[in-house]
């Protein structure tokens, strides 16, 4: 018997590097790679806050259990939701931004001012200058299920 999609129940600290989506405390979250300067190699999560319509960074305990969703991810922007240009910066909400072929979201640290850019392909978070960028207000992330049918695990509308 095989689970489709593949899920792994594990501590946050043991999530595979290829996993970008986890279920944590009943919510879907994006999981980031630890900062290379972090001696403890702490993983962080970005959860969608529907009240503020943005992604918020949290730092759960390394031993907290998550369900890591692994496999080939599908990122699908709603092409009809692309404004002519949008601002990649601190006022950004939950838009999916594209720079060349790299998908990004803006993440706001929980309880702190500021913003960072999360790369959905490699799981890294970096600082950035404000810039105009192609964005999509509606988008979703999924994994391939049985028979190649996408199973959507995160939808932003």
Q: 115 and 90 in contact (C-beta within 8 Å)?
A: yes
pLDDT digits (tens, 9 = 90+) for 54-106: 999 988 988 999 999 988 899 999 999 987 767 788 888 899 998 888 899 99
Q: 16 and 73 in contact (C-beta within 8 Å)?
A: no
Question: Regarding beta strands 54-58 and 65-70, do their DSSP bridges make them parallel or antiparallel, or are they unpaired?
Answer: unpaired
- The conformational region for residue 24 under phi > 0 = left, psi -120 to 50 = alpha, else beta, is beta
Per-residue pLDDT band at 28 (split at 50, 70, 90)? very high
Question: How much is the pLDDT for 125?
Answer: 87
**Which pTM value belongs to this model?**
0.84
b/e per residue, 122-132, with b = 16+ CB within 10 A?
Answer: ebebeebeeee
Q: Pick the closest to residue 108 from 154, 153, 49 (CA basis).
A: 49
Q: What is the mean pLDDT of residues 34-53?
A: 79
Write the CB contacts of 8 (distance below 8 Å, at least 6 apart in sequence): 15, 16, 19, 67, 68, 70
Q: Pick the closest to residue 117 from 139, 95, 138, 141 (CA basis).
A: 95
């Amino acid at each position: 018997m095989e689970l489709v999609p593949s899920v792994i129940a594990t501590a946050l600290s043991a999530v595979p590097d290829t996993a970008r989506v986890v279920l944590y405390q009943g919510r879907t979250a994006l999981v980031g790679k630890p900062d290379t300067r972090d001696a403890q190699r702490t993983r962080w999560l970005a959860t969608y806050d529907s009240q503020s319509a943005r992604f918020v960074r949290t730092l759960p305990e390394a031993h907290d259990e998550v369900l890591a969703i692994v496999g080939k991810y599908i990122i699908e922007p709603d092409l009809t939701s692309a404004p002519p240009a949008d601002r990649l910066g601190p006022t950004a909400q939950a838009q999916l931004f594209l720079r060349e072929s790299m998908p990004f979201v803006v993440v706001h640290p929980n309880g702190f001012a500021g913003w960072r850019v999360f790369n959905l392909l490699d799981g890294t978070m970096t600082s950035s200058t404000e810039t105009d960028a192609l964005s999509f207000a509606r988008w979703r992330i999924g994994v391939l299920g049985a028979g190649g049918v996408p199973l959507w695990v995160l939808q932003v509308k």
